[in-house]
Structure 1
Amino acid sequence: MKIGVTSQNFKTITGHAGKTRRFLVFSQDGEGNAIEIDRLDLPKALSMHEFRGDVHPIDDFEVLITGGCGDGFRQRMAGRGIRVVTTSETNPEQAVTAVFAGLPLPEAAPHVTGS
């Protein structure tokens, strides 16, 4: 399973998923530990806010963890077969570990449109 994490700074989980262009990509090692396997640094045209094509680099994700997103983003991701998890957790590895273990994450702050 591949889990993507929105991270504009490649250090912490960030919000505004529709405008995010940077993602950390995680999988599990043979012992079930979360390991970072890739980073995506996409051009603006490939932010989901701008993108209108068919195939996208995040299509390999089964889960996308973000600090926040709107309902439209959730719907677009569901249409691509990606489950979105929003959280106030800022540590990517901790969040991914929790998702792999089926544990809940702290709730994200409400998404504010236009900010």
Structure 2
Amino acid sequence: MKVAIATIEWKEVSGHAGKAQQWFVYDLAGHTPGGPLPEPARVTLTKEQTPHYIEDDNAPHPLDGVEVMIAGSAGDGFVRHMKKRGADVVLTGEPDPAVALTKLIAGEDLPDQRFDITTSLCKLRDFFSRH
């Protein structure tokens, strides 16, 4: 299973998944429960490649093949759009990407997402969205 985590400068979980340009991608295919996390691939997206802007045209994308995406916030349109591309979205208030992934793998509850005004704006945008 591949998990992508939206980040801010590779340090913390990004609060806005749709516009995140820096993503850790973990390939957990060989991971054993309780073992150390594998080293993530670092994927940097151009503005046009961010999930906020990509189309539903099934063109190849650097995050294709990811089954789970972790972020601090995302609008309903983003969640629906990623579902169409085969990925479930998990939102959390956990700022540390490795901690968030470790808790997810262990089946532990993740902290609720933090308040983010952009989420409210995204919900309004999503109301009129093509997604």
TM-score by length of 2: 0.79
Check conservation: 2:31, 2:38, Cα contact below 8 A.
no
Check conservation: 1:63, 1:83, Cα contact below 8 A.
yes
Q: Point out where structure 2 has 5 or more consecutive residues left out of the alignment.
A: 123-131
Check conservation: 2:5, 2:71, Cα contact below 8 A.
yes
Identity of aligned residues (%): 34
Q: Map of 1:1-115 to 2, 5 A cutoff? A: 1-28=1-28, 29-32=30-33, 33-52=36-55, 53-54=57-58, 55-110=60-115, 111-113=119-121
Structure 1 residues 92-101 or 29-38, which shifts more? Answer: 29-38
Residues 22, 30 of structure 1: alpha-carbon distance in 2 compared, 3 angstrom cutoff: closer
1:51 deviation in Å?
1.3
Amino acid across the alignment from 1:18: G
Check conservation: 1:5, 1:25, Cα contact below 8 A.
yes
TM-score by length of 1: 0.89
Tell me the secondary structure at the aligned position of residue 57 of structure 1: coil
1:34 deviation in Å?
2.1
Check conservation: 1:4, 1:61, Cα contact below 8 A.
yes
1:100 deviation in Å?
1.2
Indicate the structure (1 or 2) with the bigger Cα radius of gyration. Answer: 2
1:37 deviation in Å?
2.6
Tell me the secondary structure at the aligned position of residue 90 of structure 2: strand
1:62 deviation in Å?
0.9
In structure 2, C-alpha distance between the alignment counterparts of 1:63 and 1:13, rounded to whole Å = 14
Aligned length: 114
Residues 30, 47 of structure 1: alpha-carbon distance in 2 compared, 3 angstrom cutoff: closer
1:21 deviation in Å?
1.2
Aligned residues: CA RMSD: 1.6
